[in-house]
Amino acid sequence: MRGFPVAHAQVIQPIQTRLDDFRQQRRVQAGSLIISVFGDAILPRGGRVWLGSLIRLLEPLELNERLIRTSVFRLAKEEWLRTETVGRRADYALTNSGRRRFEEAARHIYASHAPLWDRRWRLILAVGDFDPKEREALRRALFWQGFGVLGADCFVHPSADLTAAFDALVAEGLAGHLERLMPLLAADSRSGLSANDADLVRRAWNLEELGEAYAGFVATYQPILAEVRGDRQTEVGDEEAFLVRTLLIHDYRRLLLRDPELPDVLLPTDWPGQKARLLCKELYRRLEVPSERHLDHFLTLADGSTPVLDAAYAERFPQDDPLTVSV
């Protein structure tokens, strides 16, 4: 695994600040955080974990046992997870549907760059009648897949896999909507960037709001990166490395879920999304060794064994572009 020179472990102040900020939130979406932990830490180790081990891993973030249990039970009800009983204990494992959803998200989270654009728009048209509640549920589900909205009946994305998008709607409990939706692939526009493309982007997405969110992500994690790189390089404690890696990926995942990952030609100048991607990539690599060491000690199955890290884990954030981002 990649790492950095070992120095005296200590709690780094920017890490302490990020952890304290999280702990002081009035309302924590524990289910969403648990999804991030499963996708980032548990999926590469077989996709299953003893509930007691998960509680221990998240305890330092001040998520109490009752909240974690309730959130895990809800995720099981929503068919993200399933229970596997082992004696008097039980593991929670990803369902096949949950695993597919995680793997689809991982292709975006751990990529070195945004998907290449083939200059063809992906459209989903609402061709049937939807009451206001159904329409809002559909809009929100597609928003969290990065789709923009054109009018009341058209959703648009530059590169989404439409089959995967429909599968995700089924997983969100919206299977009954599919017969009233029509997926389309727009005509090729290789003749060059048209005014219509730029106008479509302005109408479909609030890039100013998304850009501010990316800038906030950079402002939060840049001080941490500055402490663990270069001449000021400092080793992070194993537990702190795992916790800040969890929050890093959780925060980045939440941004990517609503990011259409538009090609550069359709983005504003100095778009902060690429800086956020490079920052996440470098900081993740620098947290990798101590965080995995922590998981070796505390991530266990119901039978007491420690699941082995899959070799495919090494493919995250491939090194086909520069590692560093200016801080």
- The amino acid at residue 167 is D
- The amino acid at residue 310 is D
Is residue 82 domain-shared with residue 135, that is, in the same domain?
Answer: no
What is the pLDDT at residue 257?
87
Please give the distance of CA 75 from its chain centroid, rounded to a whole number.
Answer: 16
Is residue 54 domain-shared with residue 172, that is, in the same domain?
Answer: no
Question: What's the predicted TM-score (pTM) here?
Answer: 0.86
Is residue 142 domain-shared with residue 252, that is, in the same domain?
Answer: no
Is residue 33 domain-shared with residue 157, that is, in the same domain?
Answer: no
| Residue entry with tokens 């495919």 | 312
Would 41 be classed as within a structural domain?
A: yes
Domain count, the chain: 2
Query: Rounded to the nearest 5°, which phi and psi values hold at 125?
Result: -100, 135
Q: Which of 135, 159, 187 is the last residue of a domain?
A: 187
What is the pLDDT at residue 1?
45
What is the pLDDT at residue 74?
92
Would 4 be classed as within a structural domain?
A: no
Would 245 be classed as within a structural domain?
A: yes
Cα→Cα distances 135→67, 126, 156, 174, 251, Å? 31, 9, 15, 11, 27
Would 99 be classed as within a structural domain?
A: yes
CATH number at residue 37: 1.10.10.10
Percent of the chain with pLDDT over 90: 59
Is residue 143 domain-shared with residue 95, that is, in the same domain?
Answer: no
| Cα 73 to Cα 92: distance, rounded to the nearest angstrom | 10
Is residue 48 domain-shared with residue 94, that is, in the same domain?
Answer: yes
- The amino acid at residue 238 is D
- Collect the ranges in the chain with pLDDT lower than 50: 1-8, 323
Would 233 be classed as within a structural domain?
A: yes
What is the pLDDT at residue 28?
82
pLDDT in tens, 55-88: 999 999 999 999 999 999 999 988 889 999 988 8
Is residue 279 domain-shared with residue 150, that is, in the same domain?
Answer: no
| Cα 298 to Cα 172: distance, rounded to the nearest angstrom | 31
Is residue 107 domain-shared with residue 225, that is, in the same domain?
Answer: yes
Would 240 be classed as within a structural domain?
A: yes
Is residue 61 domain-shared with residue 166, that is, in the same domain?
Answer: no
Is residue 87 domain-shared with residue 231, that is, in the same domain?
Answer: yes
Is residue 214 domain-shared with residue 96, that is, in the same domain?
Answer: yes
What is the pLDDT at residue 313?
86
What is the pLDDT at residue 8?
42
Residue 233 structural domain:
13-113+207-315
Instruction: Residue 300: count other Cβ atoms within 10 Å of its Cβ.
Output: 20
Would 310 be classed as within a structural domain?
A: yes
Is residue 140 domain-shared with residue 99, that is, in the same domain?
Answer: no
Region of residue 79 (phi > 0: left; psi between -120 and 50: alpha; otherwise: beta):
left
What is the pLDDT at residue 191?
52
Would 2 be classed as within a structural domain?
A: no
What is the pLDDT at residue 287?
95
